[in-house]
Amino acid sequence: MRIISGKFRGRRVTAPASLPVRPTTDMAKESLFNYLNYRVEFEGIVALDLFAGTGNITFELISRGASSVIAVDKHVGCVKFIAQYADQLVPKVAKVYNTDALIAIERSRDRFDLIFADPPYDYDKYGDLVEGILTKPLLKDDGILVVEHPGNIEFTAIPGYIETRHYGKVHFSFFNPIHNS
């Protein structure tokens, strides 16, 4: 995998083969960030990367100028790799936590400009995840949630849903925060 844009553009990232991950492909990641470029000012954003895996999205956000990225994964090997590599890019921008994503969103007191979630494709709590993020509220007023998922997952009935885009076998659904006023 490689960093697509920003300060570290073109840098190859080689994660240990022992990590139990399915990284977002470079083609899908590039398409995702092309879409987000029109909606997000990356310089200075605060982001949350759930199911961070190899740190692919975390590293891309750091390269593009994020001021803070919280990466969450429940596999200790992933957490160690992300923490070490992120500090090589820009020290102290990434905070990496070894916990379950649903626990992380329940405990978080932060608000984010961007939340990216890439659960394993056999994950059975997509609805809980999205609704938990949107109703907490974890997103800032103009924030955006991106969920990577298989094609058989449908989010159109969830308040805050914007659209789904697919790039090959990769699907990204986009959400805005729900305002309960």
Start-to-end Cα distance in the chain: 42
Domain ranges of the chain: 40-175
Judge whether 163 and 154 are in contact, CB under 8 Å.
no
Residues 6+ apart with CB under 8 A from 84: none
The pLDDT value recorded for residue 18 is: 82
pLDDT of residue 179: 61
Q: What is the pLDDT of residues 80-108, one digit of tens each?
A: 999 999 999 998 999 999 999 999 999 99
Give 40-175's CATH code, choosing from 3.10.20.600, 3.40.640.10, 1.10.540.10, 3.40.50.150: 3.40.50.150
Tell me the per-residue pLDDT of 147-160, one tens digit each, with 9 for 90 and over. 999 999 999 999 99
Predicted TM-score (pTM) of this structure: 0.94
What percent of the chain shows pLDDT beyond 70? 98
- Lowest-confidence segment of 2-6, 21-25, 161-165, 175-179 by average pLDDT: 21-25
